[in-house]
């Protein structure tokens, strides 16, 4: 992983990718995973110039294949504020520092490393599977994952399940829960980005109009922030999350969570207090860009703002647009859609579903401190959203133990992974591939009341 972190595979926008680094990443994995690239039953293809698709041919074609998905690209990392340079892969006190250590070279390299270990032990999988490594996930995945998905669909591939990044084992992050909890996201929020523009006659600041373009637009943005979209607790997977977690909470929270039919209104109000839990229960509003003005004594002719809404699984992009128009309620504010997609379908969650069963089994085998494996929502977006035509069972889970101080490091300063965490991730993936070869899995070692 350290060699991979040193390659600055940065994506800034769909048009601005460090393609030289992405090509170098392709050469690097060939060099460090010789068994993967020389195996007779592993086919490797380059898709969309820089993404990678591996087809691992199992010995039993009757078994339905699955897919492991990851991405090599990373968000930009200016070095200011980092304890170690972001592409140095410096090792310090048991941690490897660098952009991509958590998002998501740990998965891209971890999957290949687990496969390399298995191949070197002359292991031949019974069940076929695919490994996809995208090169533009951070900028919508249209040239990488989307093309890989289209290729599989054109070949008539149907997957029993797909595993991508998106959630993790949360340790001390859920208030009131002492033990680490594995949260597997069974859906992800949708998104709609809107541009807001106000055009007015320009003029001199010595005789200003009653309202300027800046004032009108600022008031509209303020209305959006002051009137958040409705609280939808109980209408999406967040209710299942709380119900599955009920027994893990300390008293009296365990009592409250076990009786959500009664306490749901209180719980929904409490969840709305913190940004991280508020994101689970509603469509969020984030004013991300605001541009206006050219000179201190000129009334500007136009003001522009951009707002990103992450859509709760119980709403659609068209509904959000309608509610936004009603909140802005000002014809002088022009609204344009930049991009929009609805929330992803909710994947099955029951112990009859192969993907759920095998993931639960592998988590409980690899992470002995974890008792509960619960369904959740991914509040960001992943490459997995492009694969809905090849499977209805998409699970977003990075097999890592995350503490609350790890969360701001993802896309932030001092992103790092502990050597122990990374080794556990490889062990999980190694075990997962072997567990997927079993026709009928035995019951996991913990009781499965969580399911």
Catalytic residues: 73, 137
By the 8 A CB rule, do 382 and 166 touch? yes
Q: Considering just the CA atoms, what is the radius of gyration of the chain in Å? A: 24
Burial class (CB in 10 A: 0-12, 13-18, 19+), 420: exposed
Q: How many CB atoms lie within 10 A of CB 317?
A: 19
By the 8 A CB rule, do 370 and 363 touch? yes
From residue 159, how far is each of 57, 242, 347, 431 by CA, in Å?
14, 29, 13, 19
Pairing outcome for strands 190-199 and 334-341: antiparallel
Query: Which 3-state string (H, E, C) describes 237-267?
Result: CHHHHHHHHHHHECCCHHHHHCCHHHHHHHH
Which SS3 state, helix, strand or coil, does residue 275 take? helix
- Token pair recorded at residue 42: 């592993």
What backbone phi and psi angles, to 5 degrees, belong to 137? Answer: -60, -40
Residue tagged 């409705």 (tokens): 230
By the 8 A CB rule, do 217 and 303 touch? yes
The number of residues making up the chain comes to 451
């Amino acid at each position: 992983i350290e060699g991979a972190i040193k390659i600055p595979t940065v994506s800034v926008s769909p048009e601005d990718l460090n393609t030289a680094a992405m090509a170098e990443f392709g050469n690097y994995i060939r060099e460090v995973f010789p068994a993967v690239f020389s195996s007779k039953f592993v086919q490797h293809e380059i898709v969309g110039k820089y993404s990678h698709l591996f087809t691992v041919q199992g010995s039993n074609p009757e078994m339905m294949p699955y897919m492991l998905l990851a991405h090599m690209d990373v968000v930009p990392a200016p070095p200011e504020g980092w304890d170690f340079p972001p592409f140095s892969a410096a090792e310090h006190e048991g941690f490897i520092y660098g952009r991509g250590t958590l998002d998501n070279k740990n998965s891209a390299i971890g999957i290949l490393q687990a496969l390399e270990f298995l191949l070197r032990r002359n292991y031949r999988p019974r069940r076929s599977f695919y490994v996809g490594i995208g090169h533009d996930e951070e900028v919508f995945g249209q040239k990488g994952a989307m093309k890989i998905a289209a290729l599989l669909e054109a070949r008539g591939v149907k997957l029993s399940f797909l595993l991508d990044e998106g959630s993790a084992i949360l340790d001390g992050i859920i208030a009131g829960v002492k033990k680490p909890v594995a949260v597997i996201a069974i859906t992800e929020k949708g998104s709609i980005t809107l541009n807001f523009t106000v055009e007015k006659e320009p003029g001199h600041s010595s005789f200003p109009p009653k309202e300027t373009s800046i004032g009108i637009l600022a008031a509209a943005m303020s209305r959006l922030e002051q009137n958040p979209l409705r609280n939808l607790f109980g209408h999406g997977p967040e209710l299942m999350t709380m119900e599955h977690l009920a027994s893990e909470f300390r008293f009296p929270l365990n009592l409250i969570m076990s009786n959500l039919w009664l306490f749901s209104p209180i719980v929904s109000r409490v969840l709305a207090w913190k940004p991280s839990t508020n994101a689970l229960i509603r469509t969020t509003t984030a004013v991300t860009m605001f541009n206006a003005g050219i000179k201190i004594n000129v009334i500007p002719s136009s003001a522009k703002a951009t707002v990103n809404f992450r859509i709760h699984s119980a709403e659609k992009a068209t509904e959000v647009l309608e509610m936004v128009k009603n909140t802005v309620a000002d014809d002088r504010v022009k609204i344009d859609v930049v991009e929009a997609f609805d929330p992803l379908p909710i994947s099955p969650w029951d112990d009859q579903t192969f993907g759920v069963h095998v993931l639960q089994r592998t988590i409980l085998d690899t992470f002995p401190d974890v008792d509960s494996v619960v369904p959740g929502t991914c509040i960001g977006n992943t490459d997995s959203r492009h694969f809905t035509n090849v499977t209805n069972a998409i699970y977003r889970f990075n097999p890592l133990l995350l503490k609350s101080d790890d969360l701001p490091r993802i896309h932030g300063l001092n992103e790092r992974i502990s050597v122990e965490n990374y080794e556990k991730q490889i062990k999980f993936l190694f075990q997962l591939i072997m567990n997927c070869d079993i026709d009928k899995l035995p019951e996991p070692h913990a009781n499965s009341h969580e399911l």
